[in-house]
Structure 1
Amino acid sequence: MISRYSSTGLALLGIALYGGPLLAGLARHGWAVLPVFAGLFLLYMSARRGPDLATGAGWAGLAIMALVQAVLVTLVWAFGLGLATLFGAIALPLWAPLLLTAIAASLGAWAHRDAAEMDVMLDSVLEALEAAPSDATGGEDADWPETPAEVHAALEGALEALYNLDKLLPTVIDPVVARLDAAAGVAAFDPFYDVAGLEGDDNDPLIDYALLRFVARPHILAALIGRGEGGLAPTLLLDAPNDEVRAEARARVGDLLDAAAPDDQLPDDDWLALMAERFEGEGYEALARRCRRT
Structure 2
Amino acid sequence: MQARLRLLKGATALLYFGPLLAGIAGFGWRVVPLFVGIFLLWLFILRPQQWPRTLADWSRPEALIALLTQSLVQLLLVAVSLGIGRGIGGVLGVMPAIPLMLPVAVSFLSIPLARMIWDPWRADAGEVVLDEALARLEAEEDPAPADDLKRRTEVAARMVAALDRLPAEAAPELLADHLHAMATQTSHEALRVALMDPIYDGSATAVVRRAAAVHATDPAVVDVLKGSTYPMAVFRALTDGSTLALFAARCADLVAQKPDRLADCPDPEDVMALAARVPGAAAELAALAKALTRAKAAMAKPGALAKGGQS
- Of Structure 1 and Structure 2, the greater helix share is in 2
Q: Normalising by structure 1, report the TM-score.
A: 0.43
